[in-house]
Amino acid sequence: MRWPLLVCIWSALAINANAQAIWANGTQRGIELLWLPPRDGALPERYVIMRAAASSNRWSIAGSVMRSTSNDSLIAHRIADAAQLDSSHRERFNEHLERMFFANPRALSRALGTYFHDTTTTPLAEYDYQIWAGSTLIATLYGVTSHQRALPKPPSWIRVRQRAQCIELWWQTDSARIFGITGYALYRARNGESPIRLIERPISIVGLEQDTLASAFVRDCTPGASGTIGYYVAALDVFGNEGRPSIVEVMRRSQAPSPPTIVRAEIGNPLALHVRGDRTTARPLLRTSDTHKWFLSEWQWRDSLLLVTVPERCADALAVTIVHGTDSLASWIGIPTIVPLFDTTTPPRPTFAELQHDGDHAHIRWCAASAADIAGYLLERQLLSDTTRHFIIGTNYVDTNTENVRYRVFAVDAHGNISEPTPQFAGSTSAIAAPELLSVTSSRSGTVLVWRVPPRTARVAVNRYDDSSATPLTIALLPGAACRYVDRTPGAQRATYQIVTLDSSGNWSRPSERRSAHTPHQHCRPPAFDSAVYRDGVVVLYWTATHQGEFLLERSSSGSEEVFVLARFNSGTQRFVDDTLEGGGQYTYRLRCIGSSDHEATSCTITIPP
């Protein structure tokens, strides 16, 4: 079950081409500009403002401004030390400077010399601006209209609910700083009357900040009779302009049911949320600390316990809130609870490991695991009953050349999770690592073989054992990058197959295990797909984890018989991102146990827009 949420974002007063924050707006006399100083190095003493007619790229000096030298300025005592700060202290200085700016934009800008009023413009003409500090371009913005004041956009995603005798309002402020919003004005109208200001002073954006989720929350507990109450929320920008308000209405009741609230959270996967209150039609919304998008995860109720599945993630915190309503209309959204996360996802194992002898030494090498947060590898060394493990940062290890030693390699991620091991390989053998024959399946076009080869493979030999033959027949010799072959020989459905590889030095590998299309595969049940989502040019697949076995993820497209093997997973994996799509069309994804046939697989189909 997935519930899309539409999140509106305010548009900027002017488009900023650089990373430095800059805002502009028209006035009765021309154009006002405010900007923040550069985040690195000393604070400039003088700025030069360059101006050009919109899109003309013909720049000329519009004026210059100097930083205030007044000893009474609050910032003057810190300016001298700004250039000598190290990176961590500099970052805290910049954060403090920005908070001071949004608390009083014009006053601080004049003290820093980051305010300019251009009064030499032509009314209703558009201009581009550049801000320079010496030879450094600080900021650029385009398309500012002179003498025409632009008002900030109404706040987005406002929600309201009654809780006990109070009315609670909540709205997003994620992009407030980006677009120069410094605060909000709040008004209330009862039963169709004229609105009155609910809070005398504007709500400052500085007081609404949170580490993981930027949001505004107001509680109105003014006693009043039942009926319809309208609330008006308007944004205020750095120039003091108050924009058009957003309007939301709520029916106040004398007795309101207690909405569900999160009492406490127990970290894990699933995330256990202890909830108090009426949970009818309530569901959880999640947002990780590294994204501004909300998503609806899988969940289930167990009395007053809400179990929420946390997908694979790289964030270190999660904002969790409860939504009340239907799939198409939310009556209210609760206040987010910030929950720290600890990654418990098992990383993929190294794809291959091999051993090569060099005199008295054995060189063990393996391919890196595909996860982005791999911290290192565990090499397990087993000699008779003695087993030791070595933590290794790289992907190779040199050991004493000893017979009867067996090795396995595990991947370890940055959170301490350990992967499944590679197949054991012995120190007494001189052959390179054997390839893995992943699956042999029958199809209308023939017998399809899929395999994975060791690193540094130059050629791949496909051997077939017929029922009447005791020796293999090499039916194909393929390039080292090949990973799939279709045997179209009539009557070969009962044959068994084997893969052997050859490296660039002419060394043959150990052969893979033999498989046929009828080789039974025990103790594996393919997982069922939960959803397939297309966004930002990729397809994200979710499925329910199984308890045992390994399986393949395959993809086919409409109008083609080609089947691509995308990945091999163990039973704990629940998510995959397919970023290899080249265009629109209809795609079918299949999950099947290694060695099983197509009719035993689970599948889902998604249509991608052109």
Cis peptide before 347 (omega within 30 of 0): no
Which CATH fold topology does 159-252 show?
Answer: Immunoglobulin-like (2.60.40)
If one compares 412 and 444, the residue with the highest pLDDT of the two is: 412
Pick the residue with more confidence: 267 or 326? 267
The average confidence (pLDDT) of the chain is: 79
Q: Which residue has the higher pLDDT, 3 or 226?
A: 226
What pLDDT digit, counting tens, does each position of 222-258 carry?
Answer: 867 778 889 999 999 999 999 999 998 888 877 766 7
Instruction: Answer yes or no: CATH 2.60.40 is held by domain 15-145.
Output: yes
Write the CATH number of the domain with boundaries 353-426: 2.60.40.10
The more confidently predicted of residues 76 and 601 is 601
Mean pLDDT computed over 262-269: 81
* Residue 420 predicted with pLDDT over 80: yes
- Domain residues of the chain, as ranges? 15-145, 159-252, 261-340, 353-426, 436-516, 529-608
Q: What is the mean pLDDT of residues 507-515?
A: 81
The model's confidence at residue 460, banded by pLDDT at 50, 70 and 90, is very high
Round the CA-based radius of gyration of the chain to a whole number and report it: 32
Count how many Cα atoms sit within 13 Å of the Cα of residue 428 in the half-sphere of its side chain.
Answer: 6
pLDDT at position 209 is 54
Q: What are the phi and psi torsion angles at 193 (to 5°)?
A: -75, 175
Question: Rounded mean pLDDT of 86-100?
Answer: 76
> Which segment, 338-342, 354-358, 461-465, 512-516, is predicted with the most confidence on average?
461-465
Closest CA to 181 of 197, 199, 203: 203
| Structure confidence at residue 243 (pLDDT) | 92
CA distance 24 to 153: 15
| Average confidence (pLDDT) over 407-430 | 78
Q: How far is Cα 140 from Cα 34, in angstroms, rounded to an integer?
A: 12
Q: Which of 13-27, 291-305, 424-438 has the highest mean pLDDT?
A: 291-305
**Digit-coded pLDDT (tens) for 140-197:** 999 999 999 999 999 887 888 787 778 888 887 877 888 889 899 999 988 778 888 8
Instruction: State mean pLDDT over 414-433.
Output: 72
The answer to whether residue 95 scores a pLDDT higher than 70 is yes
pLDDT for 493 equals 67
Region 529-608: CATH code: 2.60.40.10
Domain 261-340: which CATH class? mainly beta
Residues 556-576 pLDDT 10s:
888 777 777 787 777 677 788
* Residues 6 or more apart whose Cβ sits within 8 Å of residue 607: 584, 585, 586, 587
Section 485-500 average pLDDT:
83
Which whole number is the average pLDDT over 375-393?
Answer: 87
Q: Which two tokens stand for residue 541?
A: 């697949």
Higher-pLDDT residue of 583, 598: 583
DSSP string over 186-212: EEEEETTPPPEESSSSPEEGGGG--SS
DSSP 514-554: PEETT----S--PPPEEEEEEETTEEEEEE---SS-EEEEE
**Which of 17-21, 213-217, 424-428, 531-535 is predicted least confidently?**
17-21
Task: Please report the DSSP string for 496-511 in residue order.
Answer: EEEEEEEETTSPBBPP
Q: Distance (Å, rounded) from C-alpha 197 to C-alpha 203?
A: 12
Q: How many CA atoms lie within 13 A of 382 on its CB side?
A: 10
Tokens of 298: 């899988």
Strand blocks (E) in 3-54:
15-16, 22-26, 31-35, 46-53
On the question of a common fold for 261-340 and 529-608, the answer reads: yes
Q: Inform me whether the pLDDT recorded for 30 exceeds 90.
A: yes
Pairwise pLDDT comparison (597 vs 290), residue with the higher score: 290
Residues in the chain: 610
Q: Residue 427 pLDDT > 70, yes or no?
A: no
Tell me which of 1 and 594 has the higher pLDDT. Answer: 594
- Give the model's pLDDT for residue 177: 80
Other CB atoms within 10 Å distance of the CB of residue 281:
12
pLDDT at residue 8 greater than cutoff 70: no
Alpha-carbon distances, residue 217 vs 152, 213, 214, 490, 508 (angstroms): 20, 12, 10, 71, 68
Query: How far is it, in rounded angstroms, from Cα 249 to Cα 231?
Result: 6
Residue 29's pLDDT is 92
Tell me, rounded to whole angstroms, the distance of Cα 132 from its chain centroid: 35
- Is pLDDT above 60 for 430? no
Q: Report the predicted TM-score, pTM, of the whole model to 2 decimal places.
A: 0.48
Pair 512, 451: CB distance under 8 Å: yes
**CATH fit for domain 436-516, picks 2.40.50.100, 2.60.40.10, 2.120.10.30, 2.40.50.140:** 2.60.40.10
d(CA 246, CA 157): 9
pLDDT-wise least confident of 44-58, 517-531, 595-609:
517-531
